[in-house]
Amino acid sequence: MKTLTLTEVKSAASILLEGGLVAIPTETVYGLAAPVFSESSVEKIFRVKGRPSDNPLIVHVSSMEQIERVAEDIPYEFYHLAEVFFPGPLTVILKKKASVPPIVSAHLDTIGVRMPKHPLALQLIQEMDVPLAAPSANLSGKPSSTQASHVLNDFDGKIEAILDGGPCIEGLESTVLLLEPKPIILRPGSIEKERIETVLRKKVEYASHLADRPLSPGMKYRHYCPKAKVMLFNSENELANYLKSTSAKTKVIKDLTPETLYHSFRQADLENVEEIAILLDAAHKEHVALMNRLQRAAYFGE
């Protein structure tokens, strides 16, 4: 796997044109990219990630014009949101154009679209002049990658290159929003419900992430999980009592931030830790996106 830097966007484009896969930096997490209309490359993304074929990919664009190449019957509300939040960590589910290969959307008639806020990602998409389909650049079920070494760890020898844009500024994946028939947040992210409500001037709901019939295929899968068991604690006392009682190799995290969550999980795996004990404070508990990832990691872990 080649590591390309900011002067090598053109090389990244050539690799994609030749059918190779390139990991790309975004403001949220690294993505594993292929041109949206190249069916065999998209198929390779599913293969190298070990991703279930019923979990759709997000399409990344660098201009509003490109959105109309993958989506149709776009509601006017989408343009209001785009004006405020694009480029940025918001993915909106729209009606898919028939010309987009079904594998991208896992045979759904909808497509998730976002414009990443990272100069290298935008440059590469512009250079290709075609939207890039990209899930997060991690093995399926594992924590997302927030720096080049994480991608290397998961995909060295399996993909052609990474465009190294340094550590991701945000560290958690984008907010995924269904617009129609009514606005529902399928995955919380740093663009919060209230900000979307202000722009749409209507109520937005959260989809329950453990719902029986998930609206977003990704919701039913094990996600964001390190090998170690993730345990959440509400007070120093509770944590101290637990640590006295366990004989497992435990990593304690008391200063968790959204930016460092996945790095901590990945470090724990490298250190062969058996348990990760996380102390939560009031600010953590109010952070909807962070709690969503933590609860899923704790719930789905063995």
Residues that bind ligand TXA (CB under 6 A): 26, 28-29, 31, 55-58, 89, 91, 93, 105, 108, 110-112, 114, 116, 134-136, 173-174, 176, 186-187, 216-218
Give the closest residue to 113 by CA, choosing from 157, 62, 154: 62
Q: What's the CA gap between 224 and 55, in Å, rounded?
A: 15
At 275 the three-state DSSP class reads strand
Q: State the residue for tokens 């409500």.
A: 197
Is residue 136 near Mg ion by the rule CB under 5 A?
yes
Q: Cβ 286 to Mg ion, closest distance in Å?
A: 24
73: left (phi over 0), alpha (psi -120 to 50) or beta: left
Residue 125 partner contact from ligand TXA, Mg ion, none using kind-dependent CB cut-offs of 5 to 8 Å: none
Q: Which two tokens stand for residue 120?
A: 């290298």
State which residue, 60 or 251, has the beta carbon closest to ligand TXA.
60
CB atoms inside a 10 Å sphere around CB 239: 20
State which residue, 136 or 147, has the beta carbon closest to Mg ion.
136
State which residue, 91 or 264, has the beta carbon closest to ligand TXA.
91
Triad 76, 80, 83: Cα angle to 5°: 130
Q: Cβ 113 to ligand TXA, closest distance in Å?
A: 9
Residue 41 partner contact from ligand TXA, Mg ion, none using kind-dependent CB cut-offs of 5 to 8 Å: none
Q: Cβ 18 to Mg ion, closest distance in Å?
A: 25
Q: Cβ 49 to Mg ion, closest distance in Å?
A: 8
State which residue, 9 or 90, has the beta carbon closest to Mg ion.
90
Rounded to 10 deg, the angle between the 193-200 and 76-85 helix axes is 130
